[in-house]
Structure 1
């Protein structure tokens, strides 16, 4: 009963988020807020302590600020709408991940990637991990990490162990770097959700070409460092499998923003909102295709059974993420009116802080908070909210988005507190701290150095 009611609450919040995209009716805001509060109450035993704090802090802070007249009812409604939209983001993309979990295409592509010859294995592993990450989020690391573990089973002699260790290190660093490139552009990443929510003057269509360029350079730079770090082994050619298996996966990844763009043009919705409408449709169609060869009646029954059994469990298992996203979005909106933009602008002018120094400082703050365990969702929400309040800010939105996205990509593969690094380190046999600093540290530091130098040259 609790699972059914919790699922209904999530779907109600999602419906209200979509309704607010089409309508100005304020009635949907309190309805969404009530649904989210009830969801948190029902799922309270399964919510971690840290997230419980956010679940309590957000409504209490909103109520206190409203009572004291610091924020208006309109701001509260906007904060609730942001929470509901973030919930829609999680729920919508959960359908896509649920579909990919049982796809033979994903399994086949993973097998092809881990069996490539050394000369091209790194680049293809990074590229494949990136594609998987767009579709599966952190589930991509589970798929590829498991396959790497199965593929590397060296003999007991020292030389075989040494070679196996090097191969494991190269494949896992390629996997995490490719995965960390997802925040640089992918509309399915939480980074893009926060960036586009926090910079109203920027659309995904405007940023995506630049983000894709950063992604390409990010992956290629990792490949260059890998090639410089390891001599090319003298081995016979290995048939790693047909790379044409990757083509459908590339097409599927490209389909997501393409279909969203078409829906956006037809409906007038922002592209990100259109994407969250398209993702479940693509996911359900993908599941339908997985049942190919069976009669239509059987496929329909299997699809409905999966929607009834698996989907609610998938949605509810995101209880911690739902609470974190919804609370962070809410807190970020209600705190923005408390910022004095004039005082902040005067401080920057008196301190003679240049645009480049400001953006470097923001990047360093994000990194520092990530390394002490403070969730980046809160950090980025508050930083972007404060930036948009500065009246004399003349930094291009694309530059702001680029700094946030690149910094996010770096700490995702460096901070031992990030889920991605903890996850991939589990397949390496070493601690997340050692993986992030020793295995991936030079790559992270070099990318940051290049970005900081570029900022001082351009801004």
Structure 2
């Protein structure tokens, strides 16, 4: 008698459980759609579905989060509870902070969808192989630039892709049986990857760095940043190329097999593809009169779906749209769950920043900074160094940069050009990638090479990092002089 009852009980509850599971699986897509409806469609009724879907997603992913992500979410929850109890305008403040969280969650997810299409692309694999198989004299600039360009599309996945290709191609046999040559090649190529990826915060209009900067400094656009950020990226790139040349091994007389460099045609095709995706973001921004970070929310998912559909089209005719949609639907849990840490860290940082900023007396802080002498480009350098130092202790630049932008007063009130502050923080992001042993970048390189993160950061890359810090500190002062009109070169 008991067996049928238990079976019927499970049967009765299973549809509800399945519905609940499905709702959780699609909570992030629902948050994305509702956020887009609110931001672009100006539909106020979409605010609460977006917020509730985000909370459901964060709860469902809690067990799989990293300690940093959990800590950040807990701090945000405690601060939100304190504000709810003590602040007069708690409802409005908490609502604004949640909306910021929804925006960043949607931004990360939009880029994540682009990553899905890239990882299924034959062109990406061919371009990666072509970049690896270049002559030693040409390898650094091509590999560093290629890592930066592919990093715009597949983000940190480019390190795993290129790292696997390096390990596969850089064998003892390929080095003529010389372990020294194999290890030297590996070190130079891994550093080229690292330094190339560090250019993304400075050079990519689609990067999370730019989204954080522009969402906090709403009076700036990418076109304001580009004339200062791109030369900064060029400085870091040229320093890396110079270091690679200076640290090249001396001729040893060892016999090496001659190989022809691979054709870069596939990489040229990738550049066209990346350019088309970037242009689509600018086109959406211009046509719909949206800021660049908001345009990313719409253009990147559309680009991702179109790219994936074109790939699926080869499997037997048709447009490929149905196959692309099927892939996203069937694998939604994996696709959107893969972004859990980035969403928690970036969104949690934005949430904390939105809660803390109204509690800061900006006028008083501005007066303190002016009285202390920390104003003008010196304040920008100080902000850059704070982010870099905190990164050495494990604090993600997303958190520190967001909080600094939240608590610092209007840059003009302390004699600082806003673009100078923005570029200083973007530079800090790049420096943190080059030096912090706690970043995902270093953990991936450590796993690939079998070396400790401290070997990579300080033995391999320490001198280059210190030179970059000194150079960029000087560059911030030069940039401030150029933008303020002290010099007429700008």
CA distance in 2, matches of 1:348, 1:446: 28
CA distance in 1, matches of 2:427, 2:272: 25
Q: 2:197 aligns with which of 141, 155, 179?
A: 179
Matched residue, 1:109 = 127
CA distance in 1, matches of 2:435, 2:311: 37
CA distance in 1, matches of 2:122, 2:87: 56
Task: Tell me the secondary structure at the aligned position of residue 93 of structure 2.
Answer: helix
Q: Could you say which structure has the greater relative contact order, defined with CA pairs below 8 angstroms and 6 or more residues apart?
A: 1
Matched residue, 2:468 = 447
Matched residue, 1:366 = 387
Name whichever of 374-383 and 227-236 sits farther off. 227-236
Q: C-alpha displacement at 1:209, in angstroms? A: 3.6
Root-mean-square deviation over aligned CA pairs: 2.3
Q: 1:86–1:326: 8 Å Cα contact kept in structure 2?
A: yes
Matched residue, 1:330 = 351
Q: 1:207 aligns with which of 225, 239, 248?
A: 225
CA distance in 2, matches of 1:10, 1:182: 26
Q: C-alpha displacement at 1:96, in angstroms? A: 0.5
Paired residues for 1:52-201 under 5 Å: 52-69=70-87, 71-155=89-173, 160-201=178-219
CA distance in 2, matches of 1:318, 1:125: 26
Q: 2:407 aligns with which of 386, 392, 398?
A: 386
- 1:227 aligned onto 2:248: no
Name whichever of 50-59 and 149-158 sits farther off. 149-158
Q: C-alpha displacement at 1:364, in angstroms? A: 1.5
Name whichever of 45-54 and 279-288 sits farther off. 45-54
Q: C-alpha displacement at 1:391, in angstroms? A: 6.9
In 2 relative to 1, CA 91–330 (structure 1 residues): closer, same or farther, beyond 3 Å? Answer: same
- 1:306 aligned onto 2:327: yes
Q: 2:375–2:416: 8 Å Cα contact kept in structure 1?
A: no
- 1:415 aligned onto 2:436: yes
Q: C-alpha displacement at 1:390, in angstroms? A: 6.2
Paired residues for 1:229-308 under 5 Å: 229-230=247-248, 238-297=259-318, 299-308=320-329
Name whichever of 194-203 and 346-355 sits farther off. 346-355
Tell which structure's C-alpha radius of gyration is larger: 2
Q: 1:128–1:178: 8 Å Cα contact kept in structure 2?
A: yes
In 2 relative to 1, CA 217–391 (structure 1 residues): closer, same or farther, beyond 3 Å? Answer: closer
Q: C-alpha displacement at 1:394, in angstroms? A: 3.2
Q: 1:318 aligns with which of 322, 325, 339?
A: 339
Q: C-alpha displacement at 1:397, in angstroms? A: 2.0
In 2 relative to 1, CA 293–69 (structure 1 residues): closer, same or farther, beyond 3 Å? Answer: closer
Q: C-alpha displacement at 1:156, in angstroms? A: 11
Task: Tell me the secondary structure at the aligned position of residue 427 of structure 1.
Answer: helix
CA distance in 2, matches of 1:304, 1:288: 8
In 2 relative to 1, CA 306–25 (structure 1 residues): closer, same or farther, beyond 3 Å? Answer: closer
In 2 relative to 1, CA 107–58 (structure 1 residues): closer, same or farther, beyond 3 Å? Answer: same
Q: 2:114–2:154: 8 Å Cα contact kept in structure 1?
A: yes
Q: C-alpha displacement at 1:285, in angstroms? A: 1.4
Q: 2:199–2:237: 8 Å Cα contact kept in structure 1?
A: yes
Q: 2:457 aligns with which of 420, 432, 436?
A: 436
Q: 1:356 aligns with which of 372, 377, 381?
A: 377
In 2 relative to 1, CA 292–240 (structure 1 residues): closer, same or farther, beyond 3 Å? Answer: farther
- The Cα offsets for residues 283-322 of structure 1, whole Å up to 9 and x where unpaired, read as 1111122234444348344323212223431101222322
Q: 2:375–2:414: 8 Å Cα contact kept in structure 1?
A: no
Aligned length: 459
CA distance in 2, matches of 1:260, 1:300: 21
Q: C-alpha displacement at 1:398, in angstroms? A: 1.5
Q: 1:118–1:232: 8 Å Cα contact kept in structure 2?
A: no
CA distance in 2, matches of 1:24, 1:66: 27
In 2 relative to 1, CA 284–22 (structure 1 residues): closer, same or farther, beyond 3 Å? Answer: closer
Unaligned 5+ residue runs, structure 2?
1-17, 481-490
Q: 2:240–2:464: 8 Å Cα contact kept in structure 1?
A: yes
CA distance in 2, matches of 1:24, 1:157: 60
Q: C-alpha displacement at 1:3, in angstroms? A: 5.3
Name whichever of 415-424 and 280-289 sits farther off. 280-289
CA distance in 2, matches of 1:247, 1:158: 31
Normalised by the length of structure 2, the TM-score is 0.88
